[in-house]
Amino acid sequence: MLTLLSLSAQAQRLSGKVVDAETGLPVPYASVSVLHSRVGTTSNAEGEFELRQAVLPGKLVVSELSHRTDTVAVASASAVLQVRLKPTAVVLPEVKMGSYTAELIKKAYRQLERTNAQQAYSAAFYRQVTRLDNEPTEIQEMIWHAKSGNTGLAGTAMAQGRYAKKKTVLNFKNFSLYTKKNQISLFKSDTALLKTLLGPNPTELNTLRLLGVTQDGTHQLVEIGFAKKAAPNTEYGSLLIDETTLQVLRYRTVTQALNVRINNPAFKLTNQATTLEWVFRPTPTGGAALLDHIKVDYQATLHRPLRSDMKVQASSFTLLYDGQTKAPADVTYAAAQSGESDLQVIEAMAYNAAFWQNNSAVKRTPLEEAIIKAFEQKGAFGTMLTP
């Protein structure tokens, strides 16, 4: 535990960085939360994080699925805080008899069902990058007011948006739908109808395999792999469950079921595959885990008449930050709509340059230099390129 001394509590802007205690390398997407609360944030790809209005002195709980959770006492925000997380000890899985993995998933599902009504309210930063033959052709960024639960996003309200794009042969109309609409589990009164992995019948359609167990303090994190019985190469993935609290902390799936439809009848998409990953922050109370971030990656091959095939990739990352348990009185959340156009929604909002310049989540997740240079070329347009 790191300890700094202070004289009085006051709200401050706290910046820090999470690194591996052994290698010194940044720890990306680590959970940083205020002790005994549901308020927190996540480190970016470089391990950096920022908490606005942090009440100091105070204590932070810092965790990441491959490292031991640490509690950090902080006195003031006068300097950048460095948190050094120790890697988790890998425990060789014991021989589990029979249906251990299936029973653990059933218990986790029941925990999800019991705590599903516990909602969190936060801001969410969404970034989508489209690439054709590895060349960036489109960026869309949105800030949402987000309502979330222990299975994914439950509703959003648009706050701000911006974009940059080039004229190309293919654009995605509503790629954010994958992020907004998909859930790691469903709940129905007739459980016999549930065919999801995280349900009362996890082995009905899937084969399960124990991938490993890691020790995080007094908690054992169990990773279970799964694959669809009928066609294991078309849908597979893994989930991470805290054996003590039964909270689902990560769910990752690769599927060929989420196919993209294309308007041009002369074009054809093949080899379509979508990877979705949800990561949740554990809560010490054993209630609902908090949605931390969502990743989506789509890849396919585009066939065109008399032209060479083109590699298509669209990827998005959604980071939830500035969370609270009380619903804002002035925000109306809406469920995902299939017919919406992301670009039209962005263009309908008045662009606010100062908003983007001062947004903490945007500052913590800078664009890659190669992407920036790709849109400095002639022919690119959009609000992100406005001086």
Task: Look at 324 and 126; give whichever has higher pLDDT.
Answer: 126
* Neighbouring C-beta atoms of residue 234, cutoff 10 Å: 13
Cα-Cα-Cα-Cα dihedral sign, residues 358, 359, 361, 365? negative
Q: What is the mean pLDDT of the chain?
A: 86
Q: Which of 1-15, 138-152, 195-209, 255-269 has the lowest mean pLDDT?
A: 1-15
User: pLDDT tens digits for 200-228?
Assistant: 899 999 999 998 888 777 788 999 999 99
Determine the average pLDDT of the residues in 18-37. Answer: 85
Determine the average pLDDT of the residues in 34-40. Answer: 68
- Walk me through the domains of the chain, giving residue ranges and CATH numbers: 10-87 (2.60.40.1120), 120-385 (no CATH)
Which pLDDT belongs to residue 5?
Answer: 30
Which residue, 111, 93, 21, is CA-closest to 64?
21
User: pLDDT tens digits for 157-180?
Assistant: 999 999 999 988 899 999 999 999
Length of the chain: 387
Structure tokens at 268: 């054809």
CB 173 within 8 A of CB 342: yes
User: Which residues face 209 on adjacent strands?
Assistant: 225
Which pLDDT belongs to residue 68?
Answer: 85
Q: Burial of 183 by CB count in 10 Å (0-12 exposed, 13-18 middle, 19+ buried)? A: middle
User: pLDDT tens digits for 323-368?
Assistant: 888 999 999 999 988 888 999 999 999 888 888 888 877 877 777 7
Asked if omega into 232 is within 30° of 0 (cis), the reply is no
Say whether pLDDT at 96 is over 80.
Answer: no
CB 166 within 8 A of CB 77: no
Contacts of 210 (CB under 8 A, 6+ apart): 93, 96, 100, 101, 222, 223, 224, 225
- For 301-312, b/e burial (b = at least 16 CB within 10 A) is ebeeeeeeebeb
Structure tokens at 139: 């960026």
Which pLDDT belongs to residue 1?
Answer: 34
DSSP conformation letters of 170-238: ---S-THHHHHH--S----S-GGG--SSSSS-TTSSEEEEEEEEEEETTEEEEEEEEEESS-TTTEEEE
Which pLDDT belongs to residue 8?
Answer: 45
The DSSP H or E segment spanning 123 is strand 120-132
Strands (E), 256-309: 268-281, 290-303
What does pTM read for this prediction? 0.81
Q: How far apart are CA 353 and CA 357, in angstroms?
A: 6
